[in-house]
Amino acid sequence: MPGKRRGSGRTLVVLAALAAAAAAAAVVFSIRFPHWYAARPYPGMPPVVDRSNIYGEAGRNRFSRAVEGALERIYVPNIRSGDVYVIDPHTLRVVDRFRTGRNAQHVVPSWDLRTLWVTGSATPGRRDGSLTPIDPITGKPGTIITVPDAYNMYFTPDGRAAIVVAEAQRQLEFRNPRDMALEGALPVRECDGINHADFAADGSYAIFTCEFGGGLVKLDLLARRIVGHLSLSRGRMPQDIRLAPDGSIFYVADMMADGVFLIDGERFAEVGFIPTGIGAHGLVVSRDGRKLYVSNRGAHSALGPPHGPGSVSVIDFATRRVERTWPIPGGGSPDMGNVSADGKRLWLAGRFDNVAYEIDTATGAVHTIPVGHEPHGVAVWPQPGRYCLGHTGIMR
């Protein structure tokens, strides 16, 4: 018995040493790679293949089998005309047009890449939002689904729930991603004007912008609860948000600050700012994951004049500096969009000019195509990638 007690003691010492070593290793890892250390990564999320570039699987022409047969089209939702214009990117001509619900805001690819959803926001004082499915094989719309409000839409990292951004209701609705049946809702009273979001590299949380509240909120996706609120230091009219390829920093465009904030998502703290142009608004990652395109809408208000001083700034992720800025010839109002599958073209809505822009990503040359009234969240389809987290195509 005494011998057994001594053995048990040695075992406890060894176990304690191993536990201490493991804890020390975890501390070192969290210090060296703070943006990759999470207590609860999201279960069921497809694994990250390249931790230096979370967008690597959405690189040039890296298509999933899920998009086989999809028409090559540019889908332009128009808020005031309540419709979608469809452009053939090869001919640069409008080849179709169809009605949706009121206030068509964004065209959002589904998590499984098999449906495109047109989000329709509610008319002020009413609950008349909508979700309109588009079949990307035919390019035709399906039956409109009525919801209280749908300014934008995202998906949980495992694809099991759609997150409808009900901006006017100040809540996030968790819905079945196939038939959009309501499964639950999360009030976000502390986030006035909740609209755009992006997700941590491990999927454990998302950060949403609060356009009229001047800040951001952090959402624990597993617990489905708000765990933080951050007020920005200037401007205070945040718009789009995008995670850096290495997962270290979130970039947040602010329309009043005329630039992009850098946010440490783990500490949920503002750590920098990059001036870009008047009315910094939309953010698009280049196909190789090296550049961030910032659309500067040319105005500080939601209803700006046509032919304003709109431009597109190109930020280098490695240096975190603007390396060049492309003005819109004759003035313009670039808004939301995405890049082509080969990365050679950037497509954006011309919000106050009723046009869509096709921009050469090598030269900045612009081609303009007339569309409906007040175009907004343009979707380019098909897009490379394994799955989509929402908006106009956050592909990973």
Query: How much is the average pLDDT of 58-87?
Result: 97
- Residue 133 belongs to a domain: yes
Query: What backbone phi and psi angles, to 5 degrees, belong to 121?
Result: -80, 160
CATH of the domain at 317: 2.130.10.10
Which residue has tokens 């805001």? 105
What's the one-letter identity of residue 230? L
Q: Assess if residue 315 is contained within a domain.
A: yes
Identify the pLDDT of residue 33: 45
Structure-model confidence comparison of residues 35 and 391, the more confident one: 391
| Percent share of the chain, pLDDT over 90 | 88
Does any domain span residue 388?
no
* pLDDT given at position 29: 41
Residue 32 located in a structural domain: no
Grade residue 36 by pLDDT with cuts at 50, 70 and 90: very low
pLDDT for residue 17: 52
Tokens (6 digits) for 88: 């053939």
H or E, element range at 348: strand 345-350
Query: Does any domain span residue 12?
Result: no
Query: What's the CA gap between 333 and 351, in Å, rounded?
Result: 5
What's the whole-model pTM score?
Answer: 0.90
- 288-323 pLDDT, tens per residue? 999 999 999 999 988 899 999 999 999 999 999 999
What's the total number of domains in the chain? 1
Residue 331, φ and ψ in degrees, nearest 5: 90, 155
Domain contains 268: yes
Cβ neighbours, 10 Å, residue 146: 13
Q: What is the pLDDT of residue 34?
A: 46
3-class SS of residue 376? coil
314 lies in a domain? yes
Exposure string of 195-214, with b = 16+ CB inside 10 Å and e = fewer, is bbbbbbbbbbbbbbbbbebb
Q: Is residue 45 part of a domain?
A: no
Cβ–Cβ < 8 Å for 77, 383: no
Res 25 pLDDT > 60: no
CA atoms within a 13 Å half-sphere pointing along the CA-CB vector of 119: 29
Range of the domain at 253: 53-381
pLDDT tens-place string over residues 247-270: 999 999 999 999 999 999 999 999
pLDDT digits (tens, 9 = 90+) for 330-384: 999 999 999 999 999 999 999 999 999 999 999 999 999 999 999 999 999 999 9
pLDDT interval class at 7 (50, 70, 90): very low
What integer is the mean pLDDT of 77-89? 97
Interatomic CA distance for residues 52 and 144, integer angstroms: 40
